[in-house]
Amino acid sequence: MSNFRSHWFSLLVTGGTLLVLLCIAELRSSLILAAVIILLIILSYHLTWGWYILVFLSPLIQWELSLAFLRPWFPSAPWFFTMHAPIVEFWTVLMLVAFGFNVVRRWVYGNSVRLYAPALVWFIVFVGSAALSIVNVLPHERLGGIKYIFHFMLLFYVGYLVLGTTLVNTKALWQRSLKILALDGLLAACMGAASLVLGVWQGDGFHRVVPFAIGGWQPFGDQHIFLAEMLTTALPIYVYFWYITPAAQGKKWWGGGAWVVATIALLTLSRAGWITLLVEAVVFFYLTRDHQLWQRIFYRWWLVGAAVIIPVAIYLGYFLTTSPVARGSTQARWYFTEAALYMFAKHPMVGQGVWSFVPRAREIAFLVNHFGTPTDALGIIQKILAEQGLVGLVTFGLFIGWIIKILVGRLSNTNYTPEARAAYVVSLFLVLSPAIFQLFNTLFYTSKMWVPIALALSESILYHGETGIPRLLINLKPRLIPVVTEI
């Protein structure tokens, strides 16, 4: 009874909304909307579990949901059932609305509401450069540019960075989030291994691991590069838990998982994946160069390491120079880079306009005839240069540079405990891995890149206490509605 009375405000809002729906909408539509509202109310009380689901879905951006199945239910809203997007984006929107319900409920009861806004000033400047670039967009494409800013740029900042740094408020929650990403990496590695056994790869050269469909369902996408990106992000997490886990058995499991993930990542034969792994290895060994463990390993195992690395490096060189697939990919990257530089040269300061690369690239017959319909620039630098010019590239560099500066600055502080330093190391890789990968990929403003970065910033808040990350603090007192407690 006390629980019912303490939540009477939510019940009142829910009941009133359902009553309004029944009055203004058809019965079938009202039932679906009512189910969504009930889900949002429940989710607003269990945001942590909603965040866990978001983290699990974050690498699976090729798993899309189309609302076409709702056509019979919303006959008067044809625009509604034409919507389609990755499931993680639909879930993120639900999370934002549920979080809004939670904030309003706490605000009404007079409780403090704290929202973290990482690098807010630099993000506003970056979005401002995107808005400025729209002046160069063709009139009939400007609405698409505005939608792009709201759909991708604002969503990744508010839906992943703000939501993540606000909700991940304990170290246990942060570590569980990392374990969920590690689980995603393990599932990707298992699919990659299965593709070798099943002989999925039908191309030339050595058999590479690739994702494949399961009954038409492709949560990991249809290209090897999607697996490689997940695995390079998951690998530092496995190494982190191997390091902090005290039990010998636990160390064996995490260490074994690290070797599996690293091996499958190499077997994707993704050049972006190999470059990311190389940078990860160089940075990792530099940060831990004084550790005695590496000195022992080097003196005992350097011959074994050389025997493994040298043949692999030779094969990679052979594959890159002889494989038609690799040569075709290299040519595509060069030509798309030339197209991006051509667009940049026409408007070097503010670019051709946000979301203009694809329409302009589709007008280049050579690209379409040789490489098919362009989906986006093959690298985040080319993307921003072409669409937002120097202003966009500089502002984005300041935005991502602020994040890296925060982590590197605290990592160099020797006053932190070994636990905190280990957390800062893995957080640095949660930023570096997706950022490096997007130098060669097209998933710039997606959960796959920004959820790991959100967790890196969350760690910086948790292990530092007072932080330089700007935050908004809403505090309304006294209570407008008294909280009913059991007498």
Count of beta carbons in the 10 Å neighbourhood of residue 94? 17
- Sole residue written with tokens 């697996």: 227
Distance, CA of 449 to CA of 387 (rounded, Å): 20
Per-residue pLDDT averaged across 90-108, rounded?
A: 90
Token pair listed for 400? 């991502």
Distance, CA of 218 to CA of 55 (rounded, Å): 18
- Residues near 314 by beta carbon (within 8 Å), at least 6 away in sequence: none
Distance, CA of 320 to CA of 187 (rounded, Å): 28
The segment with the largest mean pLDDT, out of 347-356, 417-426, 461-470, is: 347-356
Per residue in 149-171, pLDDT (tens digit) is: 999 999 999 999 999 999 999 99
Count of beta carbons in the 10 Å neighbourhood of residue 487? 4
Delimit the domains of the chain by residue range: 1-117, 291-322
| pLDDT band of 39, cuts 50, 70, 90 | confident
Counting Cα atoms < 13 Å in the Cβ hemisphere of 353 gives 18
Question: Residue 272 above 80 pLDDT?
Answer: yes
Question: Residue 18 above 80 pLDDT?
Answer: no
The DSSP line for 367-413 is HHHHH-S--S-SSHHHHHHHHHHHHHHHHHHHHHHHHHHHHHHHHT-
Distance, CA of 119 to CA of 471 (rounded, Å): 10
Q: Which amino acid is at 242?
A: W
- The H or E element containing residue 217 is none
Per-residue pLDDT averaged across 124-152, rounded?
A: 94
pTM of the model: 0.90
**Residue with more model confidence, 74 or 443:** 443
Per-residue pLDDT averaged across 16-40, rounded?
A: 64
Distance, CA of 188 to CA of 290 (rounded, Å): 33
Token pair listed for 305? 């390491």
The pLDDT of residue 24 is 47
Are 448 and 185 in contact by the 8 Å Cβ rule? The answer is: no
Per-residue pLDDT averaged across 92-114, rounded?
A: 87
Distance, CA of 158 to CA of 121 (rounded, Å): 14
Residue 110: left (phi > 0), alpha (psi -120 to 50), or beta?
Answer: left
The DSSP line for 279-306 is HHHHHHHHHTTT-HHHHHHHHHHHHHHH
Per residue in 463-484, pLDDT (tens digit) is: 876 556 776 765 554 444 444 4
Question: Rounded to 10 degrees, what is the CA torsion of 429, 397, 352, 79?
Answer: 50
Distance, CA of 62 to CA of 219 (rounded, Å): 6
Distance, CA of 380 to CA of 446 (rounded, Å): 12
- 291 — phi, psi (to 5°)? -75, 135
Per residue in 296-342, pLDDT (tens digit) is: 655 565 666 667 667 766 766 776 666 677 777 788 889 999 999 99
Mean pLDDT of the chain: 84
- Sole residue written with tokens 């948790």: 462
Are 114 and 473 in contact by the 8 Å Cβ rule? The answer is: yes
Cα 420 to the chain's mean position, in Å? Answer: 23
